[in-house]
Structure 1
Amino acid sequence: MPFPHFQGRFRLMATLLVTVVQLPPVLWLCVRTRTPLPALVALCFSWPYLRQLESPWQTTPRSGSTTLALGWWCACLVFDLLMLPAVLAIRAGAPEWATWGLAGAVALVLGGDAVLGWPRLRRRTVCIEGLEPGLEGYRIGQLSDVHCGPQVPEARVAAWVKRLNGLDLDLVTVTGDLITHGPSHVEAVARALGGLRAKDGAFVCMGNHDYFTDGEHLVRELERHGLDVLRNRGVVVERGTARLFVAGVDDTWTSRHDLGRALASRPEGAPTVLLAHDPDLFPQAQAQGVELTLSGHTHGGQLGVPGVRRWSLARFITRWTAGLYREGRSWLYVNRGAGTTGPPVRLGAPAELAVITLRRA
């Protein structure tokens, strides 16, 4: 449990933040309706959620009231961003009622999607020089940042697994942060991910949240359910005469990673797929000639400007925020993740499952 003074400070900061976010639309609604009713409604949405906050990583089970509160705050944030364009449009001659109505509708739709959105399937193609014909069209599935816990129960993880299994993939990967924290959902996430199926197997690397519990216990459970956990090591996958080297590094935040060990047994000439939860390892992977690095960790920021990956909270922790990057012959794909940590909200950074297809350059 956090210290009491930390709880108080965090709750105060959270209250100030949501007050600032809600103030413009609430005042606008109060003026329009000529009543304090919108302010009272906002208070009813916000106070029950705020009063039970303890830390940024809290994982209180989701309820209808918390979903409403979070959806309302996201809608308010979108409305804040739309207010200036709406005012400019009205001054340019647009009908006032239609302009404000459109802004409100967009805010409600995006606010609802922020708390209820289902992971989107992202399909990307990576071209590798010298790829052997046996690996042409090879498809790799990626699930990342599951964060199984009270906000992401086992059944939801199992649904993501079922969706990936339905794609008949060649290989499937899970790139870290399987749990949120603590031991409560270790067995649950291992059971759910143990259902992953692909022609050449399912591989996992560890993330920082995976050591917010007994990491060794988590690894044992994953392996017991048939998953291959790559901790600073790699394996060779064969497809006919073609070979693919699949490697994984351990967590960077606890300094367990060792890229040299992970690549030590790499066969000469075999293209490499590296599982590295932290995308900041990409420059090192590029220097080692790794063709494709699969990462997560950033969540795409969880909060950002829709459609602009550079404008998100992830920019505060890394330059590799989300999506596909290329440096020379090396590629990096940063998965926005399927789960969340902290508030179960994604605005402008939708949850995702990814499929990467290998092609000969």
Structure 2
Amino acid sequence: MHRLLSGPLTVEQLTVKIADLSASLRGKKLVHLSDFHYDGVLLSEAMLEEAIALSNQIQPDLVLLTGDYVTTTPKPIHQLALHLQKLQSQAGIYAILGNHDLYYKNSKTEITQALTKVGIQVLWNEIAYPWGDKLPIVGLVDYYYREFNPELLFNQLDPTRPRIVLCHNPDTAARLQPWRVDLQLSGHTHGGQVVIPGLGAVLPYHRKIMQKIPVKLRRLLPFLFKEYFIVHHSEWLQGLHHIGKNQLYVNRGLGTYYPGRLFCPPELTVITLERE
């Protein structure tokens, strides 16, 4: 998508404090990328290359990808994977799939194989240990997929050990409150994509507004009224949130739907870990 409809790429930097974090992990830097929607339209080649170059300049200890690599057909994943193989990370690159990555019956397999081929480990209800048992990475399937089963994974973890959780839809933070989640990384919402200063994201008001628009007008402007984002917790559209004792960070994503972004630019997130 053209920069005029997307806005310039921003780099968000934050420090996240984690209880019981090993001294050897203090100061570790994570790069978080999400919602590429790579199909030659929704994400420009220039912005994708810019994001990869910026990530490499940061020299991250870990790169984490939280889904929606494509929008419908899985075919673009092969070209995207050629770009993503340029990402550099000290301890590896881990990914989960989003709802758009499960659009067709073969999507999961094709996307997983393409990412795996270029050295990206896709977690499907799995736990990875890039630093041994000091900080496991829990990769959950998409919230509305039939195999979403957090209890299965959390029961395998020592409750005294900190962990990072990857799950595409931030609504899952409500479901995960019974367990320890030191940091959950999500995407899905595009940050609301259209944000009005002083009012906030338009997304929470979407349904109310849509119901007042004549059906004939909706048909003339379908892209304005299609419900791309399925979220119940509109208060978690972007940024860092505390849900009980757990922490959630929602990335605004790189890709952009029509009619574009407004005061909600695409982002690359840099997270520095510190001990609480």
TM-score (norm 1): 0.64
Cα distance change, pair 264–222 in 1 and its aligned pair in 2 (3 A): farther
- Tell me, yes or no, if structure 1 residue 125 matches structure 2 residue 15: yes
Tell me the SS of whatever aligns to 1:286: coil
1:45 aligned residue: none
Within 5 A, what are the aligned runs for 1:225-240?
225-238=118-131
- Tell me, yes or no, if structure 1 residue 257 matches structure 2 residue 173: no
| Greater per-residue strand proportion | 2
Distance 1:227 1:270 in 2: 25
Tell me the SS of whatever aligns to 1:278: coil
Tell me the SS of whatever aligns to 2:15: strand
Distance 1:191 1:123 in 2: 27
Tell me the SS of whatever aligns to 1:279: coil
Counterpart contact for 1:275–1:294, Cα < 8 Å: yes
Q: CA deviation at 1:286?
A: 2.8
Distance 1:215 1:221 in 2: 10
| Greater per-residue helix proportion | 1
Cα distance change, pair 116–277 in 1 and its aligned pair in 2 (3 A): closer
Cα distance change, pair 191–358 in 1 and its aligned pair in 2 (3 A): same
Counterpart of 2:171 (choices 261, 280, 290) is 280
Larger Rg: 1
Paired residues, number: 247
Q: Which has the higher contact order (CA 8 A, sep 6+)?
A: 2
Counterpart of 1:328 (choices 244, 247, 258) is 244
Within 5 A, what are the aligned runs for 1:93-242?
115-151=5-41, 152-154=43-45, 156-213=47-104, 214-238=107-131
Cα distance change, pair 212–274 in 1 and its aligned pair in 2 (3 A): same
Tell me the SS of whatever aligns to 1:172: strand
Structure 1, 314-323 or 271-280: larger mean CA deviation: 314-323
Counterpart contact for 1:158–1:195, Cα < 8 Å: no
Cα distance change, pair 224–307 in 1 and its aligned pair in 2 (3 A): farther
Counterpart contact for 2:72–2:101, Cα < 8 Å: yes
Unaligned runs of 5+ in 2: 207-230
Counterpart contact for 1:128–1:329, Cα < 8 Å: no
Q: CA deviation at 1:198?
A: 1.0
Counterpart contact for 1:298–1:314, Cα < 8 Å: no
Counterpart contact for 2:33–2:269, Cα < 8 Å: yes
- Percent identical across equivalent pairs? 33
Q: CA deviation at 1:116?
A: 4.8
Q: CA deviation at 1:184?
A: 3.0
* Amino acid paired to 1:199: Q
Distance 1:304 1:323 in 2: 14
* Amino acid paired to 1:200: A
**1:161-206 deviation per Cα after TM superposition (whole angstroms, max 9, x unaligned):** 2211110111110101011111330201122222221111100010
Counterpart contact for 2:9–2:47, Cα < 8 Å: no
1:304 aligned residue: 195
1:318 aligned residue: 232
TM-score (norm 2): 0.82
Distance 1:217 1:295 in 2: 22
